[in-house]
Amino acid sequence: MHNLKIGKLGEQLAVDYLEKAGYRILQRNYRCRFGEIDIIAKEGDTIVFVEVKSRRSDNYGAPQFAVGIEKQRRISKISLYYIQTNRLESFNARYDVVAVIMRSSNWHVELFKDAFELAYDL
């Protein structure tokens, strides 16, 4: 399966998982001049910025570990821009990671709440 297809399928599995867990999806593939965030959701009174990492196996490590410090900085910058442009400063914010492993016969989805903290200085 092509990497782009794996990514899109992984994102859909993540959305389904999050909705079942009580998240309300606000946006998918939010883009701005600083980059893209896979999913922006709301859980209770918290805005949640979600990075989805999908792999066909864990041979090269668990997917959640692919969200390194540079990716965290980029997501943090995008999230601050989103919060500011949508006037959501009064809400709590959090960064979650959803790891998806898709094997030929099944898949495994795992949510890591509060996976990292704001990694960008204003």
Residue 38's alpha-carbon distances to 52, 105, 122, in angstroms, are: 6, 25, 22
pLDDT tens per residue across span 47-97:
999 999 887 766 666 667 678 889 999 999 999 999 999 999 999 999 999
Tokens 């959701």 map to which residue?
41
All domains in the chain, ordered by first residue: 3-116 (3.40.1350.10)
Q: Bigger pLDDT: 23 or 122?
A: 23
